[in-house]
Amino acid sequence: MKRIHFDVETEGFYGASTTGTLALTAAAYFPDITLTIAMTPSDFIWQGFMQGEKDGCKEWPIEGESLFSYLGKPLPYMPFVYQHPKYWQVVQAESKRAGDMLNSRKLFDDSEAAHPLQEEEMIPVENIKGKLLAIGAEDDGLWDAAKYVRRMKNRLAQRLTSAKWRP
């Protein structure tokens, strides 16, 4: 995630993929962020994961850990349906099938299918006070970013039309 600083009144953040999700989360929690650019983000928080070397795996979920925390407490998250070492085996199989190491969409699609999203796992994009640009491609090989961006758009539209919500 990169910080953008235009002047004393403008603070912006941008990121892609996981850091795009982090940019959205930060903007939802910090009202001083006036510009958020999230490229291919998810609209909810995932289980935390590590990268490195473990039992021949290069990445694995951390049991009971959220990808992000706020004020020292983990934020609610969507768990991965596959845990270590199956997680990495699925990533490798999907990447080999697609011929692209970054193509592991099955992991994310299967996780969302197995665990219906809970409200507390969603990023409260309606709390974002500044301008928001979210970009998601229909043919994203990693996860369904276009679906996530559409859900954010619908969530914002629903909140705007709700009699209870006021900007």
Q: pLDDT tens digits, residue range 95-134?
A: 887 776 566 788 999 999 999 999 999 999 999 999 999 9
Give the chain's domain count. Answer: 2
**Do 59 and 110 fall into the same domain?**
yes
Q: Looking up tokens 């935390």, which residue turns up?
A: 48
Question: How far is Cα 134 from Cα 23, in angstroms, rounded to an integer?
Answer: 10
**Do 107 and 147 fall into the same domain?**
no
**Do 106 and 132 fall into the same domain?**
no
**Do 60 and 107 fall into the same domain?**
yes
* DSSP secondary structure letter of residue 46: B
Residue 141's pLDDT band, with cuts at 50, 70 and 90, is confident
The boundaries of the domain holding residue 155 are 1-43+123-167
Q: Determine the pLDDT at residue 104.
A: 77
**Do 88 and 128 fall into the same domain?**
no
**Do 34 and 79 fall into the same domain?**
no
**Do 130 and 113 fall into the same domain?**
no
Whether residue 123 contacts residue 21, with contact meaning beta carbons closer than 8 Å, is answered with: yes
pLDDT in tens, 20-78: 999 999 999 999 999 999 999 999 999 999 999 999 999 999 999 999 999 999 999 99
